[in-house]
Amino acid sequence: MREAVFVVHGMTCSACTDTVTSKIRCVTGVDACALSLVTGECQVSYDDTEGLSVDQIIESVEDCGFDCEMVRDFEIINSPTFSGKLHVTGMTCGACVSTVTKGVHGLDGVFDVRVSLVTEECLVEFDGSKVNIETIKEAVEDCGFDAEVLSVEKASQNKETFLKTTKIHLLAINYELDEDPAGVIESLKNGDCIPSVEFVETNVISVQYNKHKVGIREILRRLETMGYEANIIPMSDSENQLNILSKVKEIQFWKSTCFKSCFLAVFTMILYMGIPMISPRSMKENYFPYKETFFLKGLYYRDIFGLLIGTYIQFVVGSYFYKAFWNSLKHRAGTMDTLVCISTSCAYFFSIYSIICNIVIKNSNGMLPNVIFDTSVMLIAFISLGKLMENKAKSATSTALSKLISLTPASCTIVEDGNYENPTTIPIDLLQPGDIVEVKPGMKIPSDGKIIRGETEVDESLMTGESLLVSKEIASLVIGGSINGPGHFYFTATNVGEDSKLANIIRTMKQAQLTKAPIQRYADFLASVFVPSILSLALLTFIFWFILSEFHKAPLAFIRSTNGIFYSSFQIAISVVIVACPCALGLAAPTAIMVGTGIGAENQVLIKGGEVLEKFNNVKVFVFDKTGTLTTGNMEVKNFKGENDLDLSDEAIAVIKASEAVSEHPVARAIVTYCNAQQASRSNSKPHVSDVLSSKVFMGKGVRTTCELNGSTYTVAVGAKSLMRSHWEQSSSLLADEDNDYTVSYVSINEKVIGRFDIIDDIKKDSYQTIHYLNNHGFKTYMVTGDIHSSAIKVAQLVGMDLNNVYSEVEPAGKSEIVQQLMNKTEGKVIFVGDGINDSPALVTSDVGVAISTGTDIAVEAADIVILSDKESERASLKGLINALDIAQKTFRRIKLNIFWAVCYNTFMIPIAMGVLVPWGIWLHPMAAGLAMALSSVSVVLSSLMLKTWKPVSIDEDLELNTTSSPGTFWFRLFHSRPDHARSDIEMQEGLLAQ
């Protein structure tokens, strides 16, 4: 399997995207296709083993009448682990979910299955060498449900084995390339670092390598030693992306078209309407150019000029519309261009017909023929003007994404072999993890990394929303794309290129355009049937008025003008074709989503699709994890209490440190830091574990390992009481003062409990304001945590949460069950907010999963919305959740408003164009209809741009006026002034699920 990304030019509405998508999906070997109208980006997954090539896909797009170019093409690696998403329809209850889960889980090679009844999605992790996505789809269908594959992608199993694919252009220096292509491939494949090399086209090879074992510069050096000049082909061109988002090509085209058509339209209007209105005598007395020609009776000079101008505008300037019409006709799909082409062609050819009739019949009264060249010319002028305004407005909707893309510098300066005096400047594509990068004042930081030398202040406003410069020193983390202040520093690159935080944000924003909300799919359906419906209405309108005017002459004096019944009925029919606008419907959702996700990214909120916006519209319940979500997650061991007051030995410290080092949990990191400090404070020898023989992490409980130290083997368990021996609790002195509000982690060595760690964690600076805001606005807030009950209650009190809504000592699976129960008993949507690996099941189970970016990558991947937050405890914030709520709700309301006005426009204007008001002498001229059509699309895009006026929510305004002290003082007073019997009044929910 391979995946290719293309850019499609020339699409104007959802009918265009439907045509292209349908055409690509009909190509044999194509597995999936997703296309965005706003960005023009098309992602195609296809099977190249059947002979399908990228050129065939491009050809299928061009057959639809659109220009297409490939951005990148890469192989979906047949690695052990894949992540697949399927859409399952027909499920009605929990029993259906269980049936699908068991059916898929029974397949050999399936690791994990998560099925959501509400979203009708099935997420599967599986071994690609044992089972494929089609087999999984068949298993779901065997259970009695319909299934559709939504996506398949490689899932990273651990942090040590990441493969990256890069295309390299080769130019032979010493000999011809095609003399020994196999030799090049075999030479590169020596070693485990480069597992795959293939020629994809002339002089271009695709290299797949382990980026943690070899860098791209090393590969280029190997090729150079073989006698080749090697240049990397970037996976994405920032300048090209910016041009696409800014609609540079489209704006230039429509600017030229608009200038030509408007200039000639003014001349045509003066000829056909201006002079006759200002000087009627010139027309009555047949002055030039209203004079009959000397060489052909019945032909007038006015019509010669009109014919020349109309022909040029219709077939030269307006050739775009004819090409689009022909392509839509071939595929039986109508667009706005179809309506424009038909209406202008009718006006043009009717005018020619009138001229011919006037010449043949030789009108005896000397009247000029009924020609409407001015109508066809003015229509194209109005539509061109509207298209120009529309594309300019479209480019404004993607300014946030364009700003993020422009943050990546084209080159960077690195230090090689420790030579700080002579740094080397390289293209940004050649930067690799582990490089030491030099950053001077005012420069853009090229990648994520950690400072190793110097200090500075950094502007991270476009990434984190922090308006003030952030101070950075040695060991501080920097974000790629942020801008350096006055300092000069060096840092070690960690995440580069497509793996950086900035690239992930850009990728998420683009992906949001490919995920359609249900309301957008409804609008697209309306647009797909719009054009044939309008053409049918126009034909019926012409027939109706022609027949009615013929048999009912008296009441229809207006339509029976001097121009004749046919002429008047024909103009009304043309107005119907012109005034209708499917473009407004097609643009209603994608433009609003682009603006909404853009302002979200500017305010620390990443929204992963239009469907998420719709779910936010009916939110009732927020469920929070505690550690790392309501708290900073930067835990610290307050003290160690040994069984019978015994202190930790040096050996115990060594094995505990080695055991906790296998886990990334904040508690484990706090204990490792404590052990390091204890070892440093002791002057005697510091024993070190020689090997960790085995280790197992129990989600939500702790770790159990077997360590080897000085030839002896130790079995170590660190974590919750449930990991300890069951009979130990009956005689332990450690439980006597357990109710102390600390997070507690017990320690067992060789099945004997030796003590516990008391750990503290700070509340985020705005957790209280966030919970207070949600409570005041009618939302219910809950806490679900694996921590002990006393610690959970303390945090709930500090943040102002109802103590009866606290679930403590809950395992990861239990979090999902609690979320599911809340979803079953709540009419609205349930949002889960978390950050850890153990939160991933709950994030997927909930209607909307919100992850804090300071947490694990798995949680971030599982979530629907990501809140960007600073890892530093003093800057850790939860306010982004309120911004996410407000942005999502207002964006969805804007989508509904856009669709409402688009529907209202057509509902209101089409009847008027059809002649509802003709008996009262009111009708819509085709030129006025053309202007209305052009402005309707512009108005929808401008409506979406109104979202840019959004301002972050001020959560401080909702605080009680009598809390005049600082938040920290208020929390301290709240905690220390509560009555001693407070806990006795709480409905105890330790480890229990609500009934």
CATH level 3 topology of 81-154 = Alpha-Beta Plaits (3.30.70)
Closest C-alpha among 15, 87, 6, 7 to residue 45 = 6
Burial of 352 (0-12, 13-18, 19+ CB in 10 A): middle
Residue 308 — pLDDT band, cuts 50, 70, 90? very high
CATH level 3 topology of 432-496 = 2.70.150
What one-character-per-residue DSSP string does 243-299 give? HHHTTHHHHHHHHHHHHHHHHHHHHHHIIIIIHHHH-HHHHHTT-TTSSBPSSSTT-
What pLDDT shows up at residue 20?
A: 85
Placement of tokens 């000079």 in the chain: 301
Report how far apart the first and last C-alpha atoms of the chain are (Å, whole number).
47
pLDDT at 782 over 90: yes
Domain range summary for the chain, segments of one domain joined by +: 2-75, 81-154, 165-233, 241-390, 432-496, 518-592+896-949, 605-630+764-875, 633-762
What are the tens digits of pLDDT across the range 254-267? Answer: 888 888 988 888 88
What pLDDT shows up at residue 986?
A: 37
Enumerate the β-bridge partners of residue 477: 450
What are the tens digits of pLDDT across the range 974-992? Answer: 433 333 333 333 333 444 3
pLDDT at 631 over 80: yes
Query: What's the angle, vertex CA 895, arms to CA 889 and CA 896, rounded to 5?
Result: 90
781: three-class secondary structure by DSSP: strand
What are the tens digits of pLDDT across the range 115-140? Answer: 664 456 777 888 777 788 888 888 88
More confident residue, 711 or 180: 711
Residue 993 — pLDDT band, cuts 50, 70, 90? very low
| Residue 669 in tokens | 């990191």
Most confident range, picked from 320-329, 414-423, 565-574, 717-726: 414-423
Rounded alpha-carbon distances, angstroms, from residue 441 to 153, 444, 487, 489? 40, 9, 5, 9
What pLDDT shows up at residue 184?
A: 61
Q: Read off the pLDDT of each residue in 813-833 and give the average, rounded to a whole number.
A: 86
Residue 96 — pLDDT band, cuts 50, 70, 90? low
What are the tens digits of pLDDT across the range 714-746? Answer: 889 998 887 877 666 655 666 655 556 678 888
Placement of tokens 């032979």 in the chain: 172
Return d(Cα 5, Cα 843) in angstroms, integer.
29
What pLDDT shows up at residue 780?
A: 92
- Where residue 702 falls (left for φ over 0; alpha for ψ -120 to 50; beta otherwise) is left
Q: 103 — phi, psi (to 5°)? A: -65, -45
Q: Read off the pLDDT of each residue in 630-659 and give the average, rounded to a whole number.
A: 84
pLDDT at 712 over 50: yes
Residue 690 — pLDDT band, cuts 50, 70, 90? low
- Tell me the three-class secondary structure of 599-645, residue by residue: HHHHCCEEECCHHHHHHHHHEEEEEECHHHHHECCCCEEEEEEEHHH
What are the tens digits of pLDDT across the range 551-569? Answer: 765 445 555 555 567 777 8
Residue 618 — pLDDT band, cuts 50, 70, 90? confident
Residue 366 — pLDDT band, cuts 50, 70, 90? low
- Where residue 160 falls (left for φ over 0; alpha for ψ -120 to 50; beta otherwise) is alpha
pLDDT at 530 over 80: no
Residue 365 — pLDDT band, cuts 50, 70, 90? low
What pLDDT shows up at residue 110?
A: 85
Return the percentage of the chain with pLDDT > 70, whole number: 76
Q: Which of 625, 758, 839, 886 is catalytic?
A: 625
CATH level 3 topology of 165-233 = Alpha-Beta Plaits (3.30.70)
What are the tens digits of pLDDT across the range 146-204? Answer: 787 776 666 544 333 456 777 777 776 554 544 445 556 666 665 556 656 666 566 77
Rounded alpha-carbon distances, angstroms, from residue 876 to 122, 840, 882, 935, 953? 34, 21, 15, 46, 17
What pLDDT shows up at residue 118?
A: 41
Q: Is 337 a catalytic residue?
A: no
| Residue 163 in tokens | 């493969």
CATH level 3 topology of 605-630+764-875 = Rossmann fold (3.40.50)
Q: Read off the pLDDT of each residue in 460-476 and give the average, rounded to a whole number.
A: 74
| Strand 848-852 to 829-834 pairing | parallel
Q: Read off the pLDDT of each residue in 893-905 and give the average, rounded to a whole number.
A: 85
What pLDDT shows up at residue 962?
A: 38
| Strand 477-478 to 605-607 pairing | unpaired
Return d(Cα 418, Cα 416) in angstroms, integer.
5
782: three-class secondary structure by DSSP: strand
Contact 613, 649 (CB under 8 A): no
Residue 514 — pLDDT band, cuts 50, 70, 90? low
* CATH number corresponding to 2-75: 3.30.70.100
* CATH number corresponding to 633-762: 3.40.1110.10
Residue 593 — pLDDT band, cuts 50, 70, 90? confident
Q: Read off the pLDDT of each residue in 435-440 and give the average, rounded to a whole number.
A: 91
pLDDT at 619 over 80: yes
More confident residue, 751 or 245: 751
What are the tens digits of pLDDT across the range 783-816? Answer: 998 877 878 888 888 888 888 899 888 877 788 8
pLDDT at 244 over 70: no
Return the percentage of the chain with pLDDT > 90, whole number: 3
What pLDDT shows up at residue 991?
A: 40
Q: Which of 272-281, 454-463, 656-665, 855-864 has the lowest mean pLDDT?
A: 855-864
Total-model pTM: 0.64
What pLDDT shows up at residue 312?
A: 92
pLDDT at 423 over 70: yes
pLDDT at 586 over 60: yes
More confident residue, 177 or 710: 710
pLDDT at 491 over 90: yes
pLDDT at 994 over 50: no
Q: Read off the pLDDT of each residue in 105-115 and give the average, rounded to a whole number.
A: 80
* Same CATH fold assignment for domains 81-154 and 165-233: yes
Averaged confidence pLDDT in the chain: 76
Residue 969 — pLDDT band, cuts 50, 70, 90? very low
